Each structure stands twice: as structure tokens, then as C-alpha cells.
Amino acid sequence: MYDNIIPKGDDKIPAKLLITGLANSGKTSLLKPLKNVLVFSRDGKPFSLELPHVNVPDYGKIDELLDLIQEKLDAYKAKMGEYPDTLAFDSVSRIFTDIETNCQNKFKGYDVWSNVNMEVNKFVAATNELMEAGFNIVLIAHAVFDVDAKKFIETCKGSFAKTGGFLSTVDYAVNIDIVGNKRIVTHKGMHLSRTLLEDMPEKEDANNFNLQTYLDKIKTKSEVVQEKWSI
């Protein structure tokens, strides 16, 4: 679908990252340092950061959202002279809820969740296709604390949740939480965080975390793996 799009960027393998956190924990604010980014905001309120963005309107099926992505990428290029390097989706939790609601309005019984799965898979496949086209992908997801499981989980449902949710689609994920009067970013050691970078701390103050720098480090790591170990 996005074969004709060539982002400016560089020749390194793009990065894909998931950001999770409770409501009002500062997930969106982590986007502030991003350069050459286009944010697709679907979070129930207008996007507030001074970054290029699209306030995504209501849509009836995921194909309409994917067409909007294409349209706005072309609009970005027309305005900026080149495609963005990074695409951020804030939030994929709301996109999942949109899919669920749309399917419940159109289908009954088993057909609801079979179509939810198809729509979600189509969206995930599109983000992977955009990554293959050369864009960094940042996904933002809401988390809640599951008292029974005693851990943070994503808010998605059904078989997609059972197979790991959006966390299962990435190798890198950070969780942001408020501890006392500080916002803490967790890279490893809890359910909704993971990293392949050995030099990353388990946790760090959000004020010391730069998302653009982290994406660049992920890209460098992926390039080393590709050059050294790809057969």
C-alpha cells in the first residue's frame, strides 16, 4: 500500500517502539524531542504538543484510517518538502477501541470478534509495511493494573490481548509511571517493557530520557545485527 513512499531519513533499518503507561502518566510528552515526526492523534482530545500532527476523525473501518495515513503523509511532504522520518500513533489503544466499536455496530456474535481480529491485524500489518518503507514507528498504548495478575497490562481485549497485544509486535517497549513526584521510564524488569540494548538501565528519570536518541540507538543496533549476522 505504501510502496511509493520514500522517507528522507537515512539508510539505517528503522526502529519500532511501544510506549505504555497509566492515564496522565506522561506518555505523549515523551514525543517532544522527536525530529521530523508526524503524529496521528486518536485519543479523544485535540493533540497539544507543538509537533506536526493529524487529529484523526471518526472512521467506520480500518481501511479509512489507512487511507488517511497515506493522504496525510502526502500532505506532510507537500508542506515540508519531504516525508517525515517517524510516525507516532497516539493511541493504538483508542484505535483498538474504534475497531471493536465499529465491529459491534456491524456484526453479531462470533462475527464481531473475528472481524475485530481481521481489522487489528490489518492495522498492525500496515505499521509493519510503513516500517519496511523506512519510517520509524512509535505506538502509544494505555495500560491498567490487573489486580488478579498483579501486573500492568494493555487495555486491548480478545485473542489479540491473549497473544500479547501490541507488545508482541515490537522488540522495544518502555513504560512510564509516576513514582512520588517523578516520572520514571522503565526499559526492562516489568511486563510492559523490553529492550535488546544491553547498556540501557532498568529505569531512569523521564527527564533524562530522550526518545529521539533512543530511536537512533535502536537503529544502530539493528544495523549491526543486520550487517554482522544476516545470512
- Angle among Cα 98, 2, 164 to the nearest 5 degrees reads 45
Cα–Cα dist 204/221, whole Å: 20
In one-letter notation, the amino acid at residue 93 is: S
The residue among 150 and 79 whose pLDDT is bigger is 79
Cα–Cα dist 62/115, whole Å: 11
Can you give the pLDDT at residue 94? 97
- Whether 12 has a pLDDT exceeding 80, the answer reads no
What are the helix (H) ranges across 133-199? 158-162
**Please, what are the domains in the chain?**
16-229 (3.40.50)
Instruction: Output the furthest CA–CA distance in the chain (Å, rounded).
Output: 51
Give 7's pLDDT tier (boundaries 50, 70, 90): low
Do 131 and 16 contact (CB within 8 A), yes or no?
yes
- Whether 105 has a pLDDT exceeding 70, the answer reads yes
- Whether 5 has a pLDDT exceeding 90, the answer reads no
Q: If you average pLDDT over residues 47-68, what whole number do you get?
A: 97
Handedness of CA 124, 125, 131, 134 (dihedral sign): negative
Give 11's pLDDT tier (boundaries 50, 70, 90): low
- Whether 199 has a pLDDT exceeding 60, the answer reads yes
Cα–Cα dist 186/191, whole Å: 10
Give 3's pLDDT tier (boundaries 50, 70, 90): low
Give 173's pLDDT tier (boundaries 50, 70, 90): very high
Q: Is the pTM of this model over 0.85?
A: yes
Can you give the pLDDT at residue 224? 83
C-alpha grid cell, residue 59: 472512521
- Whether 37 has a pLDDT exceeding 70, the answer reads yes
Do 91 and 141 contact (CB within 8 A), yes or no?
yes
Can you give the pLDDT at residue 78? 97
C-alpha grid cell, residue 137: 514507528
Cα–Cα dist 75/72, whole Å: 5
Give 63's pLDDT tier (boundaries 50, 70, 90): very high
Can you give the pLDDT at residue 190? 85
Measure CA 162 to chain center.
19
Can you give the pLDDT at residue 10? 59
